[in-house]
Chain A
Amino acid sequence: MSLLQTECINFPALFEHAPDLYLLLGVDFTILNASNAYLKATLTKRDEIIGRGLFEVFPDNPGDPLADGVSNLRASLNEVLDKNKPHKMPVQKYDISRPDGIFEVRYWSPLNTPVPGPDNKVQYIIHRVEDVTEQVNNEKLLALELQKGKYHEIAEELHKKDLLDSENRFSIIFNLCPVAIIKVRVNTGEIKRVNMAFEKLFLLDRHDVIGKTATELNVLSRQVLADITHRLFEHPADMLEMEFDVVISNGEKRNVLASFDIIEVDKQKNILVALMDITHRKQMEVALKEANSFLDTVLENIPNMVFVKDASSLKFLRFNKAGESLLGYNSEALLGKNDYDFFPQEQADFFVAKDREVLDSGKLLDIEEPIQTNKGERWLHTKKIPVAQNGNPVYLIGISEDITDKKRQQDAILELNKELDSFSYSVSHDLRAPLRAVTGFAEMLEADYASVLDEAGRRLLSRISANAARMGKLIDDLLAFSKLGRKEIQRKTIEMGALVSTVISDLMRAKVSEAKFVVHKLDNISGDKELMTQVLFNLLGNAVKYSSKKESPVIEITSQRSGNDVVYSIKDNGAGFDMKYADKLFGVFQRLHRVDEFEGTGVGLAIVQRIIKKHEGRVWAEGRLNEGATFYFSVPIL
């Protein structure tokens, strides 16, 4: 058949009966014709589609929000028009509408080829596609299984079914492996093969890559390739791994971890490079490093000692600056050592026992401990914290505050208290003895010689006795007051109504008084009964004393809730006081009346205040001169 005879050939019929899937498009993407195979594959009929726009006939599946068939195909066709060159599209999902309107999922491998007109400009475009739905589905299934790590089983399965020979099996695994793989011929640098993951990583189509050199495409730089080759040939026995950056086709950088090996195909040496994209991991590492450096800054600059020990060896892994200055060693001297390298045996034993306790129990421990440092003994308040990974202890973190000064102060206070104790003791013993002699002999004098003394002499004698007695009372009160400071309170529920009644009857037995008591219903509180009795005794005793010169003394006792407190009040209509001296009421030995007006030592209210403070309460008073006083005290409800 000569070329001249071609006009006799029925080209449309030829086209229509071609076994592959063809579509003939105008430059405005109008469908001009289609092969029968195409019509069959796309579930369309020729007369229904000819003359219509391509995208009107094949719209995107409205049910697939990610559908990009129309835009990708349009872009490809435009490129063909633009460059007047064929364009092969990567596998494209492009769903097909069935006559009943339901879309079928389809994958296509399209190739768009320009047909030039007489002016050499594009006159038509031939769109050739391959329906790869089945392969894609198979690959997807395999990929899924491969992701689960079942490479071997799948290959076995396929092999058993005689579906694949070993070369094909390799191909499948090579292609579907989620790590990017590239095969480069050693002597030419020519890229022989890449897999899907490679295409995805570099955003390149394998057809644009194969046959070109890796350096020309900048897939692997000359330097990288040289390094790889060098290592492969110099250290063939090593596990060969390298980290480097690659630039993908859109210009972005990726960090990759590469492993490589040599394979021989057709007596030609090839390098097989597997590239794992570790960009994300690298970014995480950088972020982690930044976070760590932030924490480091905090750790190094806090005023407390912080150390980290390895959970199994209890060796120091970390020490901050405060720790170095506290112990008087620098970090280098401490790291990798354990407690026995620095502390006396006994102390190290103690620390290690506590460390083990924390790690075994998995619970934080809060201890106060003395330690022997390079600069002498220091007291530390330490929190030991176990750090576990997957349920196993890996680290022990210690945070210590230097409480040496606080401790010394506490010790000094204890020492002072002891001294105060022995002081009180000698006050009670040694001051009383001469006092006893004064009163004793004064009384003897009165008993034996009263008759030889005149009135003035007897008055002087009675002044001596009265003052000696008063001094005895002062000593007793002072002792009682100082004893209170050291007494621990024993809390119990106190029936205040009953207690007030008891105190009143005791008071009335001891003193002759006209006072009338009005006791309202009183709230109960939790407190120390003995001490609270003392409070009531003193306050009610004062009320009786200071109202004793009134004609009809009335003493009223109430209580009321105020927030979280119960407030008690004891009101009398006695001598009262001027409010400008109110702040002096509760001081030790502070009095607002002379002894010849009302007897007393000025300790009673100081004792009241001390007891109420011990109950975390408050005491205060209101009064007016000659119009009575009201004393209040509050005790929190527990």
Chain B
Amino acid sequence: MDNSIIEILLVEDNPDDAELTIRALKKNGIANNIVHLRDGAEALDFIFCEGQFSARDRNNRPRLILLDLKMPKVNGLEVLERLKKDPHTSGIPIVVLTSSKEDPDVASCYKLGVNSYIVKPVGFENFTQSIAQLGVYWLLLNHLPENLG
């Protein structure tokens, strides 16, 4: 298993959305190493090095997690809760991706300690911009605590 530095972990079940997101990140030259996982169960296995990812180094934590909320099996809220409760992973910045700001889950995310959220706009242009701003902030400006960095 590749143990190189993971810049961004993208958890997104919709392959189109995933492709658009990855393209937007790459277009802005933000992420060199993006890992895409297709649902919450995969994400948890990856982070806690279980199942197919049991060989992975636990200490190789992603610098940023982009988390879709509506996913099959384990949804975004559950992933968020697990990660924020575990002291080992609670320091990883998590930004949730949602289709609507009316989503009642957004409020629940803040209660669970999410760092930010992005509404996936219909226009690709807007989306690219949002992703770019987000990447710059969380990867370049926002420094993680030393022991987690």
The chain A residues found within 8 Å of chain B, CB to CB, are 424-425, 428-430, 432-437, 439-444, 468-469, 471-472, 479, 483
Contact = CB atoms under 8 A, between A and B. Distances in A.
A629 to B, nearest CB: 31
A429 B119 CA distance: 11
B23 A432 contact: no
Interface stretch (B13-21, B29-37, B82-90, B136-144): B13-21
A437 B99 contact: no
Interface string B109-141: 000000000001111110100000000000000
A436 B100 contact: no
Interface in B52-105: 70, 99-100, 102-104
Given A429-B70, A433-B16, A440 B124 contact: yes
Interface of B: 14, 16-17, 19-20, 23, 70, 99-100, 102-104, 120-125, 127
B100 A429 contact: yes
A435 B120 CA distance: 11
B102 A440 contact: no
Q: Which of A428, A429, A436, A441 has the most CB of B within 10 A?
A: A436
A435 B125 CA distance: 14
A483 B124 contact: no
B100 A428 contact: yes
Contacts, number: 61
Contacts of A429: 70, 99-100, 103
Of all A-B residue pairs in the complex, the 10 with the closest CB atoms, nearest first, are A472-B122, A437-B16, A428-B100, A443-B124, A440-B20, A440-B124, A429-B99, A432-B99, A439-B124, A435-B122
Nearest to A432: B99
Contacts of B14: 433, 437
Nearest to A483: B102
B102 A425 contact: yes
Q: Which of B70, B99, B104, B127 is most buried by chain A, counting CB atoms within 10 A of its CB?
A: B99
A436 B16 contact: yes
Given A429-B70, A437-B16, A472 B123 contact: yes
Interface hub of A441, A469, A479 (most chain B Cβ within 10 A): A441
A428 B102 contact: yes
B122 A436 contact: yes
B16 to A, nearest CB: 4
A436 B103 contact: no
Nearest to A475: B122
Given A424-B102, A425-B103, A444-B20, 20 more contacts: A425-B100, A425-B102, A428-B100, A428-B102, A429-B100, A433-B99, A434-B16, A435-B122, A436-B16, A436-B121, A436-B124, A436-B127, A440-B16, A440-B20, A441-B20, A443-B124, A443-B125, A468-B122, A469-B122, A472-B122
B127 A440 contact: yes
Contacts of A471: 122
24 contacts: A425-B103, A428-B99, A428-B100, A429-B70, A429-B99, A429-B100, A432-B100, A432-B120, A434-B16, A435-B122, A436-B17, A436-B121, A436-B124, A437-B20, A439-B123, A439-B124, A440-B19, A440-B124, A440-B127, A443-B125, A468-B122, A471-B122, A472-B123, A479-B100
Contacts of B125: 443
A430 B14 CA distance: 11
Nearest to B100: A428
Nearest to B14: A433
Nearest to B122: A472
B16 A441 contact: yes
B100 A433 contact: no
Contacts of B100: 425, 428-429, 432, 479
A443 B123 CA distance: 9
Given A440-B16, A440-B127, A432 B122 contact: yes
A440 B70 CA distance: 20
B124 to A, nearest CB: 4
B44 to A, nearest CB: 23
A430 B103 CA distance: 12
A121 to B, nearest CB: 122
Given A425-B103, A428-B103, A479-B102, A433 B17 contact: yes
A429 B102 CA distance: 10
Contacts of A436: 16-17, 20, 120-122, 124, 127
Contacts of A479: 100, 102
A479 B99 CA distance: 13
A472 B124 CA distance: 12
Contacts of A439: 122-124
A238 to B, nearest CB: 83
Contacts of A428: 99-100, 102-103
Contacts of A425: 100, 102-104
A121 B138 CA distance: 144
Contacts of B102: 424-425, 428, 479, 483
A439 B127 CA distance: 11
* Residue from A437, A472, A479 having most chain B Cβ neighbours under 10 A: A437
